[in-house]
């Protein structure tokens, strides 16, 4: 039996566009002899639809769209389409997260998700009621069990602490399904694909059943879905895998031998992150209605890497760089910004800010006096630059990209209404040490200095005061990032982190200081541009720390 996994980049809420894309892919799969087609989770409306599900009539329109899709594909192979559906019960949530079996011109059956995640970026219990059990159908003489995403992520023999008391896969052991298919919308994080395959392989071996995993691809808001749909045999061996970070149709015969041309999926960390950032930016700009972007070019590592991602994603003709030197900007930084722009082939403009700094001094003198504090003077510069960038953004109708990294955002080493301005921050979940690694990786893989070597080797500096260096205010970034990984991503206590300080190069006082900075910067992060999630815990929809609290 030939199963086609439709790995598609879908637009949340675009029912007509998603329907047309599904139709085109099913017809293409039919021409290639597919016996069954499988979309990703909630494909008809795109994932995650969030509170669109609560809008009056939205779910009904989703179902109408699936019905018209089924009628249009009456002569095509059966297709499992991810969609929300309305429950008939009078208790519980009114909706189910479902898969519609479209066959013979109608919706023949509906299958519903049993396990509804409510951790990290997921909040499905807000909308859906869980199904008491998974189910199956017959196709080409085979029994096909249908699961949706989280349903396969709770095997008590794999997870030391399962999140749910129920295990919907156990039901298929008694029902003897020939195959299990899984409609998924599993977001990207570093190294997750290797983990997914290991988990699914263990499940396949446990039940002696092939498992087919159809994943969404593309960027939606702060999430990137890497695709890499795959299938494993009953012995856990990999049968086939789709490419990552792009649309594809993967054809799988669970009864046949493994495909001889399985693409590489186990990329190095930098390659995975780069692809996620690139795809996230491509889709965020397009789905928000932008065709071009701009950013400030300081000659530093963050703006350089951000510009390089933007050029890779959108092309140099759609990226505009703005140099805004102050009296404290070194000649080397200006040269590095100009070299970067030349290397990337992007247009630039230079807007010196000294006259505006003088105007601010004059205007603020009645309120602040002639001498202002160091932080006030620095923030004025950042906010002047933020205003200039927003003006250019307005006039060019281009989206402003902010350029701060996760390390800075964690500890508040950024200026609200200044360098934090922007419609998207591609580096907001990328620690500073990884930003440097991305720059080195990019130069190595491209075989040239895309990013000038001096940008990578010089000490990081905001250049807001004479001879300023980041490490005048912060611990060395290698230490800071180790502390932040433990505190932010692993949720470890100050005491636990400090216990690792001897081997990792920091002391209790440093850990306490970093933890305090993370806490007091929460109000800034609430007002920051959205970012692209690449780690297991980002400052986005999965970060829900209180503002007015002691933690």
Give the three-class secondary structure for 139.
strand
CA–CA dist 454, 299 (Å, integer): 9
CA–CA dist 57, 94 (Å, integer): 13
Structure tokens at 86: 């309305």
CB neighbour burial string for 393-430, b if at least 16 within 10 angstroms, e if fewer: beeeebbbbbbbbbbbbbbbbbbbebbbbbbbbbbbbb
CA distances (Å), 426 to each of 175, 250, 296, 390, in order?
A: 46, 29, 14, 18
pTM of the model: 0.94
149 in active site: yes
Give the three-class secondary structure for 144.
strand
Q: Contact, 254 vs 231, CB < 8 A?
A: yes
CA–CA dist 352, 385 (Å, integer): 9
Chain mean position to CA 427: 11
Residue tagged active-site, from 37, 83, 149, 414: 149
Q: Contact, 175 vs 143, CB < 8 A?
A: yes
- Which helix (DSSP H) or strand (DSSP E) does residue 180 occupy? strand 179-184
CA–CA dist 448, 475 (Å, integer): 32
DSSP letters of 5-26? EEE-B--TT-HHHHHHHHHHHH
Note the pLDDT tens digit of each residue in 495-528.
999 999 999 999 999 999 999 999 999 999 999 9
Structure tokens at 315: 């092309």
Residue tagged active-site, from 113, 287, 406, 524: 113
41 in active site: yes
CA distances (Å), 307 to each of 143, 297, 319, 334, in order?
A: 51, 8, 8, 15
Q: Contact, 223 vs 535, CB < 8 A?
A: no
Residue tagged active-site, from 41, 150, 270, 463: 41
Q: Which of 245, 244, 285, 237 is nearest to 265 (CA)?
A: 244
Local confidence pLDDT in tens for the 551 residues of the chain: 999 999 999 999 999 999 999 999 999 999 999 999 999 999 999 999 999 999 999 999 999 999 999 999 999 999 999 999 999 888 899 999 999 999 999 999 999 999 999 999 999 999 999 998 889 999 999 999 999 999 999 999 999 999 999 889 987 775 678 999 999 999 999 999 999 999 999 999 999 999 999 999 999 999 999 999 999 999 999 999 999 999 999 999 998 877 767 766 568 999 999 999 999 999 999 999 999 999 999 999 999 999 999 999 999 999 999 999 999 999 999 999 999 999 999 999 999 999 999 999 999 999 988 777 889 999 999 999 999 999 999 999 999 999 999 999 999 999 999 999 999 999 999 999 999 999 999 999 999 999 999 999 998 877 777 777 777 788 999 999 999 999 999 999 999 999 999 999 999 999 999 999 999 999 999 999 999 999 999 999 999 999 988 87
């Amino acid at each position: 039996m030939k199963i086609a996994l439709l790995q598609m980049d879908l637009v949340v809420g675009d029912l007509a566009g998603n329907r047309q894309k599904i139709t085109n892919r099913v017809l293409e799969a039919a021409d290639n002899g597919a016996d069954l087609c499988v979309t990703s989770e909630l494909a008809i409306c795109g994932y995650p639809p969030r509170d669109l599900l609560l809008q009056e009539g939205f779910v009904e329109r989703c179902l109408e769209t699936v019905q018209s899709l089924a009628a249009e594909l009456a002569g095509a192979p059966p297709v499992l389409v991810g969609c929300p559906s309305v429950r008939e019960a009078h208790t519980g949530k009114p909706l189910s997260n479902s898969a519609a079996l479209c066959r013979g011109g109608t919706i023949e059956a509906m299958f519903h998700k049993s396990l509804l995640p409510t951790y990290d970026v997921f909040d499905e219990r807000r909308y859906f009621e869980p199904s008491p059990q998974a189910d199956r159908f017959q196709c080409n003489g085979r029994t096909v069990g249908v699961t949706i995403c989280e349903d396969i992520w709770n095997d008590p023999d794999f997870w030391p602490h399962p999140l749910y008391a129920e295990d919907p896969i156990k039901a298929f052991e008694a029902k003897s399904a020939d195959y299990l298919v899984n409609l998924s919308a599993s977001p990207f994080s570093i190294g997750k694909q290797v983990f997914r395959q290991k988990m699914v392989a263990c499940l396949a071996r446990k039940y002696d059943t092939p498992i087919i995993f159809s994943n969404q691809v593309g960027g939606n808001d702060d999430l990137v879905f890497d695709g890499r749909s795959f299938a494993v045999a009953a012995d856990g061996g990999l049968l086939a895998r789709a490419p990552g970070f792009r649309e594809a149709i993967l054809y799988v015969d669970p009864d046949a031998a493994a495909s001889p041309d399985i693409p590489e999926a186990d990329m190095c960390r930098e390659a995975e992150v780069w692809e996620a950032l690139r795809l996230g930016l491509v889709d965020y700009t397009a789905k928000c209605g932008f065709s071009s972007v701009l950013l400030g070019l300081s000659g530093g590592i963050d703006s350089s890497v951000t510009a390089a991602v933007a050029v890779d994603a959108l092309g140099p003709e759609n990226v505009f760089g703005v140099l805004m030197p102050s009296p404290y900007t070194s000649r080397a930084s200006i040269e590095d910004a100009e070299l970067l722009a030349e290397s990337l082939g992007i247009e630039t403009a230079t807007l010196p800010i000294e006259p505006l700094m003088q105007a601010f001094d004059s205007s603020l003198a009645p309120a602040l006096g002639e001498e202002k504090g160091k932080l006030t003077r620095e923030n004025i510069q950042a906010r002047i630059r933020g205003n200039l960038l927003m003006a250019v953004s307005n006039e060019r109708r281009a989206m402003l990209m902010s350029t701060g990294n996760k390390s800075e955002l964690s500890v508040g080493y950024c200026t609200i209404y200044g360098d934090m301005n922007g419609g998207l921050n591609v580096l907001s979940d990328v620690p500073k040490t990884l930003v440097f690694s991305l720059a080195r990786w990019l130069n190595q893989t491209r075989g040239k200095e895309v990013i000038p070597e001096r940008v990578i080797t010089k000490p990081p500096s905001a250049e807001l005061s004479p001879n300023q260096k980041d490490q005048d205010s912060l611990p060395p970034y290698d230490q800071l990032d180790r502390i932040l990984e433990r505190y932010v991503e692993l949720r470890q206590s100050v005491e636990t982190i400090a216990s690792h300080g001897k081997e990792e190069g920091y002391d209790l006082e440093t850990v306490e200081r970093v933890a305090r900075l993370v806490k007091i910067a929460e109000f800034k992060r609430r007002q920051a541009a959205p970012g692209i999630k690449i780690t297991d815990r980002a400052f986005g929809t999965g970060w829900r720390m209180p503002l007015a609290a002691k933690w």
